[in-house]
Amino acid sequence: MQRGLLRFAVLALPYLFAIAGAARYPSYGTLQTTQTDGVLNVVINNTYSTINLFDKHVQSDLANLIEELQAPDTDVRVVVFSSANEEFFIGHIDVKYFLPGYESPLPLFDPFIPQMLFPVSLLWNITQLPQATIAMIEGRTRGIGNEFIMSCDMRFASEAPSVLFNQFEASFGVNPGAGGGMYLAHTIGRARAFEYALSAQDVDARTAARIGWINTAFDTSAALHQHVQALAARIAVFEPMGIAATKTGINAVSRPTFDVLVRDAQNVISGLLGMPSVQAFFEKFIEATHNQSISPLELNYGRDLGELFK
C-alpha cells in the first residue's frame, strides 16, 4: 500500500465511525446538547463531580462532541457552551490524572494527533472547529477550565460573584500546559498575562471584561443569555465557509502554533508533573479541597491558596 493511501485510510477512520453513528469514546452524558437552527447549545453538567471537574467523563464526552462537529455533514455553525453548575462553569483538571494508579478509558495521547496529550488535543481541536464557538459563562473557571474558555473564540459572562477566572497552574509549581498563558497573552496582552498567570489570582467578571479576558460582562444572567443567543443566531445565518475562513486568518496570527504549543506549554508541564514537590502538592490539594469537591478552597482558591503553603 502506498504511503499516501495509507495516510488517507488513517485520516478517514474517524469519519467511518461517525458514519456508523457510534461514539468513539464512552458516553457519560456530561454534555447536554440542543440545537436550534445552526446553533448548538452545549450545557456542561458533570454529574460525577460537584465542581464540574474537567475529568475523564467530560473529556470523553467532549472528544465525541468535537468529532461530531468536525463531520463534513454537520449543519452546526455556532456552538454555545454554558453550565448547569451555578458555582463552576467548568472546573480544573482532575489532578488524580497525574498521580500513580489513575485509570481512564481514554488514551494518553490523541491517536490522531500523536504529539498531543489527550486533554491538550481537545482544546486545540476546539480552536480548529469550523464553527464559531462561544463560552457563556456563569460560575468559576480555573486551570484547564480557563484554558477551555480561552480555546473558544469568544467569552461572555455575567457579573455574578460566582464568576471567577484563574489560570492558577503556577501556584502548583507547573505551567498552563494547554497554552492558557499563551492565549491570555494574545487576548489581554503580555503584561497582564504575566500578572495573572504568575499570581494565581481570581479575576471577577467586571475586571475580566475591562482587560479583555472576556468580551463583555453583563449585569444579569438574563442579559447575558439574551446577548449571546442573539449573537449566535446572527452568526448562524452566515455561510459556514465564511465563518471557518474568517477564523483561519485570526488563528494564523493570534494562536500559538502547533509546535510552540507542544514545545513551550505541553512538554514543559510534562517535564514538571513527575517532580516530587509537584506530586506532593497535588496530594495536599486533594486533601484540602475535600477530594476536589465543593469546599471553601475550591470556592475561593484565589483568596485562600495561602493555606496550601503553610
**Binding to a second copy by residue 234, rule CB under 8 A?**
yes
d(CA 291, CA 86): 19
Nearer to a second copy, 145 or 180 (CB): 180
Nearer to a second copy, 63 or 205 (CB): 205
What's the closest the beta carbon of residue 253 comes to a second copy, in angstroms? 5
What's the closest the beta carbon of residue 267 comes to a second copy, in angstroms? 10
Instruction: Work out which of 29, 105, 107, 242 binds a second copy, going by CB under 8 A.
Output: 242
Instruction: Work out which of 126, 235, 288, 299 binds a second copy, going by CB under 8 A.
Output: 235
Q: Of residues 27-86, which lie at the interface with a second copy (CB under 8 A)?
A: none
**Binding to a second copy by residue 21, rule CB under 8 A?**
no
**Complete edge-to-edge strand list for the sheet that includes strand 164-166:** 88-90, 140-142, 164-166, 203-204
**Binding to a second copy by residue 24, rule CB under 8 A?**
no
CB 86 within 8 A of CB 164: no
What's the closest the beta carbon of residue 122 comes to a second copy, in angstroms? 18
C-alpha cell at 12: 478517514
**Binding to a second copy by residue 188, rule CB under 8 A?**
yes
Q: Of residues 245-274, which lie at the interface with a second copy (CB under 8 A)?
A: 245-256, 260, 263-265, 268-269, 272
What's the closest the beta carbon of residue 264 comes to a second copy, in angstroms? 4
What's the closest the beta carbon of residue 29 comes to a second copy, in angstroms? 30
What's the closest the beta carbon of residue 268 comes to a second copy, in angstroms? 5
Taking CB under 8 A as the binding criterion, the range among 49-57, 66-74, 114-122, 193-201 that sits at the site for a second copy is: 193-201
**Binding to a second copy by residue 190, rule CB under 8 A?**
yes
